[in-house]
Amino acid sequence: MNEVTAPHANGTAPAKAYHRRAAAPSVDVFENADELLIIADVPGVPNDGIDLQVQDGTLTLTARRLDLNESPALVREYDETDFVATFRIPAGIDTAAIAAETKNGTLLVRLPKAAAAKARKIVVR
């Protein structure tokens, strides 16, 4: 059952009884002939709240959900959560060409394979 807390008699908001936490987002990773594809759930996170960094063969995803403290909630079921995930980038990925986009609370990260890492057919003459 959800508890609704009214403001204090002096009009101030009640003390906050929650803390910001970090969680790993739900993630799927796919591979095809041209790229690796990472799909991560980041609900409530605006584009400017997502940080992707590539360093030393590791891709780090950090995402911060909107700060919901601007208006006091009567009922709160969404935690203020930071999402954090790290991925080891395999050899053969063109890290300079990594691209990302969001749509409907889902982050799509494309890690294209370098030309040398792609399979190719060799013609026998």
pLDDT tens digits for range 81-91: 788 899 999 99
Q: Is the pTM of this model over 0.75?
A: no
pLDDT tens digits for range 22-76: 677 889 999 998 999 999 998 888 899 999 999 999 999 999 876 656 667 777 7
Identify whether 59 is part of a domain: yes
- What's the token pair of residue 22? 């970090």
Identify whether 90 is part of a domain: yes
Identify whether 3 is part of a domain: no
Q: Which residues 6+ apart lie within 8 Å of 119 measured at CB?
A: 33
Q: How many domains, the chain? A: 1
Domain residues for 61?
A: 21-68+77-113
- CATH code of residue 108: 2.60.40.790
- The answer, yes or no, to whether residue 124 has pLDDT greater than 90, is yes
Identify whether 86 is part of a domain: yes
pLDDT value of position 75: 77
Identify whether 30 is part of a domain: yes
Identify whether 11 is part of a domain: no
- The answer, yes or no, to whether residue 79 has pLDDT greater than 80, is no
